[in-house]
Structure 1
Amino acid sequence: MTDSQDADMPILETTAPTEDTGESITSPVTIDSPRRPVTIQRVYFQRFKQFKNTAITLRPGVSLIAGGNNSGKTSLLHGLAVWEFCRTATRMERGEDGLLPEAITRQGFGLGDEQFSPINVPSLKHLWTNLKSAKEPDATDGGYTLRLTCEWDQDGIAKVLGFGLALVNDRLFIKTSTSNLHPGDRTPAIAYLPPFAGITSREERTNGAIRRRRIGEGLAGAVLRNLLLDMHQANLRKRAELLERPLTAPGKRRTKISDSDLKRLREEDPWELLLHTLRSVFQTELQVKDFREEYHSYIEVLVDRGTVDGYQFKRHHGYNLRDLMVEGSGFLQWLSVYTLATSPEADVLLFDEPDAHLHPTLQKELLDRLTDLASNVGKQVLLATHSSEILRNAAPARILEIKPGGSTRYLVEEHQKVGLLEGLGSGYAPRIDQIRNSKHVLFVEGTTDVPILKSLAETAGMPWPDSWIEWRTTTSHKERKALWRALNEDIPGIVAVSLRDRDDEPIKSVDQDLQDHNFPDNGDFYSRKWRRRYIEAYLLWPPTLAECSGRTENEVAEFLRDQHGIAIGATFINQNAPQTLMNIHAKEILSGLGVNAIEVAKRLPSEAICEDVIVFLKLLATGR
């Protein structure tokens, strides 16, 4: 170690963790010793990935972690996964005393990068913000520049445990940096599951260290059969124990599990919960074949399909069992999520986009079942997602929004969800960046609306105001207003004009200034609606239609009269045009003539521009 390196970061002669016992994540808890899982209340990150100095408050139950790309959703999960790794490694290297306050003054211990297993990174330097792991010249942290801290409650008493990390010569050093724990205190057990991948046709029996590494590498499928085998064998042992329970009559032995014991087993045992869910959702059962360490090389898990009646499963006639690997990605994703969720070994579950391979209906089903599970057994679930289906159906209070820079909040109102779904807060949102500069947004329905309006504005001698940023959406004024409110929270002072087609709504629902009677203006949000069916109805000027279609004006007039029963004259531009013009299906007319609406708008003369269009262009020109 050079003089510039901290004396509290020794290079250890032996850094390998103690021999793994084969446990998958933490010590198992049987059904006879239930415990209430520990819920993390707050986490602190210092110089970890996107979080330079960030505190995040977490709620019990299911939290949906949402935000734009590169906002820090996965970094939150990764930070907690690395905290769990530090906790486990410290216990193996230093014992339980390594987590107590007296350990803060002791030296840390070092690990090689090959021993770092919680998440997959190109190099350990990528754990640090901006890849800067060196200590600052005036730092007092002893070189442990990255810190991960969790707070939780134990019987009404606030508990805290934090770890400092240092990187020296490609070796990771870990030490307890913050703790108020006492001997016997419980700490949260965290399990991380990245998007499903890695399943193979042959899976060998592996110990806990190998499983953690495979999951950290994003290869949860490579250990799925191991997890299922553990759960199945634990269930068999439990059933055997229930059969051995003594009867009241001396000398008698049970031939079956009692109804009360069976009911409790089905309600609490992880394997039973998993099977019941698979039967209910997929009409599927799993069969885990016997595995003997001294004889079998690979774990075999087969899928059975049939009909379900309560807890009874009947295989489809002629169905042949098949290996787990051949099932669809959605089923395997669901299975990996729910296998981890039902395991008693973890208090806090971290899921990174578990909805990635699921149909929208299954996404909602998965969220509902995870919510029920979290409520029933007290687990805490942090689920990072981009799914509009999941977010749209979730209560705002369940959604934890993360923005670039590390700011976080649980949503309060529905309109905040709208902004989130539209990409507000994303690091890659050029349209929102434009709105941030212009403070003006124009909501329209179709791709041709703005090009048509720009052409008509030029012809009318009314320059198009470039401050209006186009936002195409077919949603209602109400939903657009919700989006405007969400934008305003992030970018105060935005003026919005929402323009919609009238379509089949009655003409009396819109007045002379195009105000939509069904949705009055509110503040700087202006709701407007065409008096005619839609914008194309303002383009039906016969001379221009003839020019664009290559027909004569007489041929166009005959087409309008014979095919659509209309005649267009001097009243065409009036706001109170004949009723037939107000309701005409103009898109069909343009299509029948083989002309393009944008091309017609470019050639329309100034005397043919309708009064409704001028009214709307004046609204845009004034900026409100």
Structure 2
Amino acid sequence: MLTKLTIRNFKRFEDAEIELSSPVVFVGPNNSGKTTALQALALWELGLRRWIEKRVASGSKARERRGVVINRRDLVQLPVPRSALLWRDLHLRRTAKGTGKATQNVLLEICVDGVSNGIMWSCPLEFDYSTDETIHCRPSRSNGAVDLDKLVPPQAREVRIAYLPPMSGLAANERRIDEGAIHVSLGEGQTAQVLRNLCYKLWEAENGKPDQGEWGSLVAQMERLFGAELLVPEYVAERGEIQMSYREPSSRGQKRVELDLSAAGRGFHQTLLLLAFLRWKPGSVVLIDEPDAHLEVLRQRQMYSELTETCRRFASQLIIATHSEIVLNEATRDKIVAFVGRPHVIRQSDQVRKALALLGLEQFLQAETRGWVLYLEGSTDLESLRALAQAAGHPVQQRLANAFVHYVSNEARKAREHFFGLLEAYPTLRGVAVFDNTPDVSVQSHPRLWEVKWTRRELENYFCQPFVLRRWVQQSAAAGDLFGYSELQRRQQAMEEAITENTIPVALNDPDHVFWRTNKVSDEYLPAVFGAFFKKLGLPNSMNKSDYCQLARLLKPEEVHDEIKHVLDLIQAASEEADR
């Protein structure tokens, strides 16, 4: 089993050390290095195979570390238009120390550690840039070994790695190809071009065994998962093609319909590919990118369980990269490596596991990525805060654009349970919770979670006054939309009447009157005003609650309430502290 991967100067990684096990799940944002780590393992295996072919299997007597050539076109599992793209920042050469002039090549290094039959081993390889079409690979002395047999341990030579990217659409026709061509196509990501061939190879190998051996167990497993019966793949010699069909799940009293494999869904194809490969090449290290691709929620959960169990049965090591929250939650008791900052194993104490079960791993990843969390009643509050920050010209605008926000329906208990669950895993986490002013909410003090309750009923109470509504009418006319310039006077009159009908007289000219502080304006006042306004114009009400943030954008910087600015300052401070 592989236990550790060390990468230097490869693609996005300058220097990274990644713990491995079976199973191990790579998680993280897009472009964080998950697929790059899988590709590093694939490149290491390719370099190792080339070295064995040229220096061991060929009977070479050479005892020096001369490199073996790898052609760019051989990099089927990480295709690049030129080999220089494998190096971090395209940094191929550096000035030699002490010379100031001479340069030396920057080496790309990949080291894999493992345990085989109770013996620990380490196999570092280094890759040297030659041209855009070729690179050289040789064992590295970074593990302190000098003898070539120790540089490339026998245990490492037995490792077989297979990289399986997400399934694409199944080809309509598939010619029979040999085993080498299947591996090449899989490495190139052309999984859809070889699915029938892979099944055919498995059937050929298992057909003579009782109950058709592992082909029979694959048929049974797919029927249990999808209710469909796989039929034996057939080689049509006249066309040199492999054909394969399946029978649909039967409805009550109806005959099962036989369909070509191409008629099945992509989730069916993806699952068949993975389960067939594990049987075809037992004992492999299987790298799977997005195993949940094309699967609905229930089957994503089931798929992870099936994969891990099948890998155990066939003594294979499973390393997967995923974005699926369902898969992440299923993997909470396995090793999870987060690609946030430097790749690292997510801490999993008993308290953290309990929190994971309640909150879900996706929430933990968000907390680790951002370092702070904002608690609000709902999404309309977030849009309103963004609009108010824009109106005030507050620097927190950028922070709010990609904040980690958790909606708690104005329940302080939910915010605290969520925050303190995350805090078990990330003790430096910072949080800001903003609540509406309701009798059931009582804010508490905590050094890492700042709680605030509006002095007015809710956030909309700070930008619902008549002068803002009048400005909205003016702005809509100036924008030339909705009604057009010629209707401005009629619209202004309609809004004045709507405001007068729905506002108590003493509050009309007093923006600080209790009327503006205590009413839940998003449910009562604003719907009534806009309903009356559009009715007077003979139009349907097109102003929804989610659109009220438009009013906040109309405020001038000096009109944004100091209380709003204070909350924006708190959010800014929390996010800045998370950056330190």
Alignment TM-score, normalising by the size of structure 2: 0.72
Structure 1 residues 137, 534: closer, same or farther in 2, change over 3 A? same
Report if aligned partners of 1:200, 1:222 keep a CA contact under 8 Å in 2.
yes
Structure 1 residues 273, 541: closer, same or farther in 2, change over 3 A? same
Match of 1:597 in 2: 548
Report if aligned partners of 1:125, 1:133 keep a CA contact under 8 Å in 2.
yes
Report if aligned partners of 2:366, 2:404 keep a CA contact under 8 Å in 1.
no
Match of 2:487 in 1: none
Q: Does 1:66 align with 2:44?
A: no
Q: Does 1:391 align with 2:328?
A: yes
Match of 1:109 in 2: 68
Length, aligned pairs only: 509
Match of 2:124 in 1: 162
> SS where residue 74 of structure 1 aligns?
helix
**TM-superposed deviation, 1:202:** 2.1
Structure 1 residues 530, 156: closer, same or farther in 2, change over 3 A? same
What do residues 107-147 of structure 1 show as CA deviations (whole Å, max 9, x unaligned)? Answer: 333343344433322223323323344586469xx979233
Structure 1 residues 297, 60: closer, same or farther in 2, change over 3 A? same
Structure 1 residues 45, 535: closer, same or farther in 2, change over 3 A? closer
- Mark the runs of 5 or more structure 1 residues left unpaired by the alignment: 1-38, 240-261, 308-313, 426-431
Q: Does 1:523 align with 2:523?
A: no
Q: Select 1:370's aligned residue among 290, 307, 332.
A: 307
Please tell me the residue identity of whatever aligns with 2:440: S
Q: Select 1:588's aligned residue among 504, 516, 527.
A: 527
Q: Which has the higher contact order (CA 8 A, sep 6+)?
A: 1
> SS where residue 77 of structure 2 aligns?
coil
**TM-superposed deviation, 1:151:** 1.4
Q: Does 1:469 align with 2:399?
A: yes
Q: Does 1:331 align with 2:268?
A: yes
Match of 2:16 in 1: 54
Structure 1 residues 223, 617: closer, same or farther in 2, change over 3 A? same
Please tell me the residue identity of whatever aligns with 1:166: D
Q: Select 1:298's aligned residue among 241, 244, 249.
A: 241
Q: Select 1:275's aligned residue among 219, 223, 246.
A: 219
- Mark the runs of 5 or more structure 2 residues left unpaired by the alignment: 99-103, 142-148, 409-414, 474-491, 535-542, 575-580
Please tell me the residue identity of whatever aligns with 1:172: I
The more displaced of 568-577 and 173-182 is: 568-577
Match of 1:256 in 2: none
Map of 1:71-150 to 2, 5 A cutoff? Answer: 71-95=32-56, 105-133=64-92, 137=96, 145-150=107-112
Match of 1:381 in 2: 318
**TM-superposed deviation, 1:587:** 5.1
CA distance in 2, matches of 1:532, 1:332: 56
Map of 1:179-190 to 2, 5 A cutoff? Answer: 180=150, 187-190=158-161
CA distance in 1, matches of 2:554, 2:126: 70
What do residues 81-120 of structure 1 show as CA deviations (whole Å, max 9, x unaligned)? Answer: 1222223333433445989xx9763533334334443332
The more displaced of 376-385 and 543-552 is: 543-552
Q: Does 1:210 align with 2:181?
A: yes
What do residues 127-172 of structure 1 show as CA deviations (whole Å, max 9, x unaligned)? Answer: 3323344586469xx9792332221112322122233333434333
Q: Does 1:410 align with 2:410?
A: no
Q: Does 1:445 align with 2:379?
A: yes
**TM-superposed deviation, 1:40:** 0.4
Match of 2:441 in 1: 510
Structure 1 residues 315, 374: closer, same or farther in 2, change over 3 A? farther
**TM-superposed deviation, 1:371:** 2.5
CA distance in 1, matches of 2:47, 2:59: 11
> SS where residue 218 of structure 2 aligns?
helix
Match of 2:482 in 1: none
CA distance in 2, matches of 1:468, 1:82: 39
Structure 1 residues 495, 421: closer, same or farther in 2, change over 3 A? closer
Report if aligned partners of 1:48, 1:147 keep a CA contact under 8 Å in 2.
yes
**TM-superposed deviation, 1:305:** 1.0
Alignment TM-score, normalising by the size of structure 1: 0.67
Report if aligned partners of 2:286, 2:319 keep a CA contact under 8 Å in 1.
yes
CA distance in 1, matches of 2:496, 2:67: 89
Structure 1 residues 203, 362: closer, same or farther in 2, change over 3 A? same
Please tell me the residue identity of whatever aligns with 1:123: R
> SS where residue 287 of structure 2 aligns?
strand
Match of 2:411 in 1: none
CA distance in 2, matches of 1:171, 1:617: 59
Match of 1:224 in 2: 195
Q: Does 1:192 align with 2:163?
A: yes
CA distance in 2, matches of 1:345, 1:536: 62
Match of 2:113 in 1: 151
Identity rate, percent: 21
Please tell me the residue identity of whatever aligns with 1:305: E
CA distance in 2, matches of 1:143, 1:398: 36
Structure 1 residues 465, 95: closer, same or farther in 2, change over 3 A? closer
Match of 2:433 in 1: 498
CA distance in 1, matches of 2:122, 2:222: 38
